[in-house]
Amino acid sequence: MATKVTKIGVLTSGGDSPGMNAAIRAVVRTGIYHELEVYGVMRGYSGMIDDDIFRMESRSVANIIQRGGTILKCARSDEFREPAGRAKAYENLKKRGIDALVVIGGDGSFKGAQKFSNEFDIPCIGLPGTIDKDIAGTDFTIGFDTAVNTAVEAIDKIRDTADAHDRLFVVEVMGRDAGYIALHSGIATGAENILIPETKTNIDELIASLGEKEKRRKLVNLVVVAEGDEFGGGNEIARIVKKRLPNIDTRVCILGHIQRGGAPTCLDRLIASRMGYHAVESLMQGRYNVMVGIVNNKLHYTPLDHAIKAKQKLSNQWLKIVKILAS
Amino acid sequence: MATKVTKIGVLTSGGDSPGMNAAIRAVVRTGIYHELEVYGVMRGYSGMIDDDIFRMESRSVANIIQRGGTILKCARSDEFREPAGRAKAYENLKKRGIDALVVIGGDGSFKGAQKFSNEFDIPCIGLPGTIDKDIAGTDFTIGFDTAVNTAVEAIDKIRDTADAHDRLFVVEVMGRDAGYIALHSGIATGAENILIPETKTNIDELIASLGEKEKRRKLVNLVVVAEGDEFGGGNEIARIVKKRLPNIDTRVCILGHIQRGGAPTCLDRLIASRMGYHAVESLMQGRYNVMVGIVNNKLHYTPLDHAIKAKQKLSNQWLKIVKILAS
Amino acid sequence: MATKVTKIGVLTSGGDSPGMNAAIRAVVRTGIYHELEVYGVMRGYSGMIDDDIFRMESRSVANIIQRGGTILKCARSDEFREPAGRAKAYENLKKRGIDALVVIGGDGSFKGAQKFSNEFDIPCIGLPGTIDKDIAGTDFTIGFDTAVNTAVEAIDKIRDTADAHDRLFVVEVMGRDAGYIALHSGIATGAENILIPETKTNIDELIASLGEKEKRRKLVNLVVVAEGDEFGGGNEIARIVKKRLPNIDTRVCILGHIQRGGAPTCLDRLIASRMGYHAVESLMQGRYNVMVGIVNNKLHYTPLDHAIKAKQKLSNQWLKIVKILAS
Amino acid sequence: MATKVTKIGVLTSGGDSPGMNAAIRAVVRTGIYHELEVYGVMRGYSGMIDDDIFRMESRSVANIIQRGGTILKCARSDEFREPAGRAKAYENLKKRGIDALVVIGGDGSFKGAQKFSNEFDIPCIGLPGTIDKDIAGTDFTIGFDTAVNTAVEAIDKIRDTADAHDRLFVVEVMGRDAGYIALHSGIATGAENILIPETKTNIDELIASLGEKEKRRKLVNLVVVAEGDEFGGGNEIARIVKKRLPNIDTRVCILGHIQRGGAPTCLDRLIASRMGYHAVESLMQGRYNVMVGIVNNKLHYTPLDHAIKAKQKLSNQWLKIVKILAS
């Protein structure tokens, strides 16, 4: 890989997240600024295997910075996990002379990129695109801020009706392995209890706390649950609460896929633009097979091998604050 | 009831809907304009029975026109269905001299009002407050426009991620007996299929239509289902689709209670203000035990007895348009 | 024009309004359903003159129902006012065999269409696309509901800061000849005064009313002014207020072009879809040179000649309600 | 000040910003958790002088975390700049036994607090509440994230109509001394040019850049200007552009006070909650006359004397990125 990068491919992989389009735009335009040819790969590694690859110009990314979803679509590819699939993908890059890749996605996508790079000497850059914010080596992931604001707006609406009826709502937000969305949206909406995968959920404590609030007629009760909580998400929590506190009028709401879409927030567009710019800069400088992250507002490069799912070191302080502020 | 109205009570009953606060504001201020005393009754008929009634001034309703929910809270009251409950409620009105009621709610609340009025000679006015828009005698109900726009915004977000992954989403919206929210939000989001209680859902036709679209790779597929569809809502429809079309990547989203909350739209604030104003005007003119509605942009008064749940005469034309526009 | 329509052109003309894309989508897909060829004309009549015309398929209008603006762009064309311009435009239609036009725009655009149709025997259909809602022959125009909701959301935000500082805000909304946006947004946000072109603005009365409120320390004061008010819009009103009531802390806010953009509301998408569908149906049935409108929820066809700017018969009742509710 | 804090006052001062209510809520509830009495002071230092002070309970701050504005209202006080005013304010605290203050506001408010504390030995804590983000000693200020997202959403709408008409829009955002809102919202909306007070605006360069884009028909042009730019804001820039590039169809939009209101974003609610909590904790620990900030995601305490308006060290990198990404 001594030779200079001249043609790059860009793709979005894994689950989509708001801000991916802003990142694509930044990669394309920074590439063109450096006089590279830029190619869009459709549907992640699937499009690389199926040869669904097209040349992108500056105008290809006009008017997309504000759009949710991804114009390159994304998918998970089983075939890319097999050597034969990766070989096919490589042939499709090679015939166009594409000599570097920018992969926007999560830790699984980065592992694939690293393996591909090892096998075919294609330098890769990873950009963390996931609403779950559960990737080591960066304070921000593209899409988290939008997803958590979508959750907050939805819970604000639920609070209106909860307040009108003095009801308890159990709201399930996304986060299979990580409780960030639950923690942030729960604090921001004044939830009384927040249940996340990172901590052991003490159901007796939850019941006791809700029962105590019922007694002193604290009116609105919101419990925010991450879908990955070990008790099994909103439906299960609601079931237990209804059984043990039958006098409380309890409802459940699963926010679901609305959290993945929508126009990205300012912050998500900014970090996506910044990361996309530096993805190309990094390739130009010969730094590759890294994920571009931001730590303490400075660029931070993590080898793709190490850009794994990170358990949050859940601040005990936050959990204490939640209890005090919702009292 | 020959005597003039001098003190009125206002309450919100049944399920809450966005715009109820705008209606309360209009009732209070129009009442004060006519030099009436106005009393707020908390939690619908429950508060009337429990004597949770308070005097309202012009400032009591300041800065609420834009708020979701209802400052008077609402509830369903079993006790009010019993003569003893209604007698207790009457005593609480009587001791304050309250001689008329404005009830904001649905058809069930109107039935209660009519019965109460028959028994105790308290003139009542009903205002249609329900997100379901399923009340005879009015083109608009307070809250429908907000609820359907909330559904549309949510489905727009779902479309972003559906499009990114070429997935089929089955989205369930509210509407236990009526398909208005499903029909309007489905048309507005370009849904391919809309399943509502008013029509017989032909599941074979649905499967055939989705299967045909899968073949020609039509990319985004949205099916919008009213919760009251006879097939059992979103989960059940998704289950059937997954079973019969296993190659389609199908997800389900239940929008749930977010549809009840949020700042009311301009239209809901307007009709709520207009109806609230005319509720009091109507009492002043001696027209009572009617629901104030709007038909063809004109005021329309329906005896409370007749303000029942209305099946929409579902326009076959709309269903034809849906098919053509989503093709 | 005895012959059957086989190829239609569609264009957006005049000022853009949210929902135009939904109308284009409906025209295209209904046209294709009837096995017509459909052509998009860019930038209104300008594109017809410059031959900027392209074939549209069903996919050309995928994923646009929720987008603000217009994919066909729009413009005002001086050249089309000249016979030479129209002749050139006609040649460009003729060489493709386009034998009918759907024009989405305002009264000026309809006049052009009528003239063009008279000269070249091209049947035209008009769809009312304007945020100002000032067209005779329809209760709805495409874009009004979105614009007024945008204004309401903006004024809600202004109210937050007005309330925090006990300030008077003069907010100017769009409406050069019509006060609909001002009237509806003003009522919906609880504005104390609403100044519109349809009524003579009595500045002394305004000053007296504000001065009286200042005395009894009524806290938030909102004055909503249509840009076309005869006193010259928000800046001028604010100047007068500051001069005559110097103790009131007065600010001005011109909402401006944000009112033209944004995702259309459910209602705007619905009426745009319905009107777009019936534009083509109408051509198929041989009814042309009419504007498709909706009156009392029924289709209503107005000869293009008569689809002029309509002064609203401003309900005195509404102005009375405004005063009572804001007291 | 050896004695322990037992009663605290909380006030919001200067310009309001979204998230102030979340901060008040956190101060009140953390105070009550520590068994302090908490008093709300209305309208900043004015209320302290006018004795507009009231006891707050946990319920006083229920259901406000999501509200824009400030329930304590805010104001600028000339009287507090005079010794006599401050003495009067002190008397009002003293008679209630209030022995500490939390001041939510900007650098001017902190200077007043410091002076007051010096004179009367009342420990004070400052929380940075300003949409301008121009305070040294913190990465975040309460309200900035909301304001910049409001600007972004507004500019997105403007882009819709700009795109439909191929127009140039000059958009003025808030920021009298600081260009943060302009810079962030400009990048996030893909503005071609961003004019801020921190850099010398080269009007010839701007004209040249716009002229060049006009030549190659780059379609949408957005120029975002901070109100404090040395050329005089949006109107002045638009005037110059119209004069020197008369062929460009140029419009101006002053976003104004909508940027101050609205429900706070998740981030603003989070930092406000965190800062509010630590304001009280800090007092309990005997650390006072400091502003609570957050730097690199850690708490950071700045002596009130030093919490001055900070010029941003405007990253040249960002300005370079802007040029590349908007090309």
What is the Cα–Cα distance from D140 to D128, expressed in whole angstroms? 8
User: B238 contacts in A (CB within 8 Å)?
Assistant: none
User: Dmax of chain C from CA atoms?
Assistant: 72
Beta-carbon contacts of D192 under 8 Å, excluding residues fewer than 6 positions away, are D209, D210, D213, D218, D221, D222, D223, D326
Q: Could D161 and C67 be called an inter-chain contact, meaning their C-beta atoms sit closer than 8 Å?
A: no
Instruction: State whether ipTM is beyond 0.90.
Output: yes
Per-residue pLDDT of chain A (327 residues; tens, 9 = 90+): 546 899 999 999 989 999 999 999 999 999 999 999 999 999 999 999 999 999 999 999 999 999 999 999 998 899 999 999 999 999 999 999 999 999 999 999 999 999 999 999 999 999 999 999 989 999 999 999 999 999 999 999 999 999 999 899 999 999 998 999 999 999 999 998 999 998 888 899 999 989 988 887 766 689 999 999 888 899 999 999 999 999 999 999 999 999 999 999 999 999 999 999 999 999 999 999 999 999 998 999 999 988 877 766 666 788 788 889 987
Instruction: Give the pLDDT confidence of C80-113 residue by residue, as tens digits.
Output: 999 999 999 999 999 999 999 999 999 999 999 9
Q: What is the pLDDT along chain C (327 residues), one digit of tens a residue?
A: 546 899 999 999 999 999 999 999 999 999 999 999 999 999 999 999 999 999 999 999 999 999 999 999 998 899 999 999 999 999 999 999 999 999 999 999 999 999 999 999 999 999 999 999 989 999 999 999 999 999 999 999 999 999 999 899 999 999 998 999 999 999 999 998 999 998 888 899 999 989 988 887 766 689 999 999 888 899 999 999 999 999 999 999 999 999 999 999 999 999 999 999 999 999 999 999 999 999 998 999 999 988 877 766 666 788 888 889 987
Kindly determine whether residue C73 and residue D261, on different chains, have CB atoms separated by under 8 Å. no
User: Which residue out of D321, D322, D323, D327 would a mutagenesis test of the A interface target, given it has the greatest number of A Cβ atoms within 10 Å?
Assistant: D321
Q: Indicate where chain C has its CATH 3.40.50.450 domain(s).
A: 7-143+264-306
Which of A74, A158, A259 lies closest to B164 in CB terms?
Answer: A74
A219 belongs to an annotated ligand binding site? yes
Q: Cβ(C98)–Cβ(C65) under 8 Å? A: no
**What class, spelled out in words, does domain C7-143+264-306 have in CATH?**
alpha beta
Q: Is C132 part of the annotated catalytic residue set?
A: yes
Token couple for A79: 């075939």
Out of B16, B162, B165, the one facing A161 most closely (by C-beta) is B16
Q: Which chains touch B (3 or more CB pairs under 8 A)?
A: A, C
Tell which residue, B185, B177, B145, has the closest CA to residue B318: B185
Q: Which of A16, A132, A145, A229 is catalytic?
A: A132
- Phi/psi of residue D280, nearest 5 degrees: -70, -45
D188 phi/psi in degrees, rounded to 5: -70, -20
Calculate how close chain B gets to C282, using CA atoms only, in Å: 14
Top residue of A153, A321, A323 to mutate, by most chain D CBs within 10 Å, is A321
Start and end residues for every CATH 3.40.50.460 domain found in chain C: 145-260
Instruction: Write out chain A residues lying below 8 Å of B262, CB-based.
Output: 156-157, 160
- Write out the E strands in chain A: 7-12, 37-41, 53-56, 100-105, 124-128, 168-173, 193-195, 221-226, 250-254, 290-295, 298-303
User: C145-260 is classed in which CATH architecture?
Assistant: 3-Layer(aba) Sandwich (3.40)
Structure tokens at B246: 């296993």
Chain position carrying tokens 């006609």: C90
Was A190 annotated as part of a binding site?
Answer: yes
CB contact under 8 A, C160 and D262: yes
- b (16+ CB within 10 A) / e for C98-113: bbbbbbbbbbbbbbbb
CB B58 within 8 A of CB B256: no
Among the listed residues C99, C132, C134, C145, the single catalytic one is C132
Q: Is position A175 annotated in a ligand binding site?
A: yes
**Sign of the CA dihedral running C103, C108, C112, C117:** positive
Q: Per residue of chain B (327 residues), what is the pLDDT tens digit?
A: 446 899 999 999 989 999 999 999 999 999 999 999 999 999 999 999 999 999 999 999 999 999 999 999 998 899 999 999 999 999 999 999 999 999 999 999 999 999 999 999 999 999 999 999 989 999 999 999 999 999 999 999 999 999 999 899 999 999 998 999 999 999 999 998 999 998 888 899 999 989 988 887 766 689 999 999 888 899 999 999 999 999 999 999 999 999 999 999 999 999 999 999 999 999 999 999 999 999 998 999 999 988 877 766 666 678 788 889 987
CB-CB under 8 Å, D266 with A148? yes
Q: Tell me, what's the pLDDT at C315?
A: 66
pLDDT in tens, C209-233: 899 888 877 666 899 999 998 888 9
Strand partners, C169: C222, C251
C-beta atoms of D266 and A63 within 8 A? no
- Give the pLDDT confidence of D287-318 residue by residue, as tens digits: 999 999 999 989 999 999 888 777 666 667 88
State which amino acid sits at residue B158. Answer: I
Task: Locate the chain B residue with the closest alpha carbon to C164.
Answer: B63
- Which residue spans of chain B are classified as CATH 3.40.50.460? 144-260
The answer to whether B103 touches B283, Cβ cutoff 8 Å, is no
Alpha-carbon distance of D149 to D255, in angstroms, equals 12
Q: Let me know: does B276 contact B127? Beta carbons within 8 Å.
A: yes
Per DSSP (E only), the strands in C106-264 are 124-128, 168-173, 193-195, 221-226, 250-254
**Residues of B that are catalytic:** 132
CA–CA dist C92, B103 (Å, integer):
62
The minimal CB distance from B163 to the residues C63, C270, C277 is found for C63
User: What's the per-residue H, E or C state across C221-252?
Assistant: EEEEEECCCCCCHHHHHHHHHHHHCCCCCEEE
User: What's the first-to-final CA gap in chain B, in angstroms?
Assistant: 59
Reduced to 3 states (helix: H, G, I; strand: E, B; else coil), residue A160 is helix
Does the domain formed by B144-260 have CATH 3.40.50.460? yes
Question: Is the domain defined by A146-260 classed in CATH 2.60.40.2220?
Answer: no
Nearest Cα residue to B166 out of C16, A76, A101, C81: A76
Å between B92 CA and nearest CA of chain A: 22
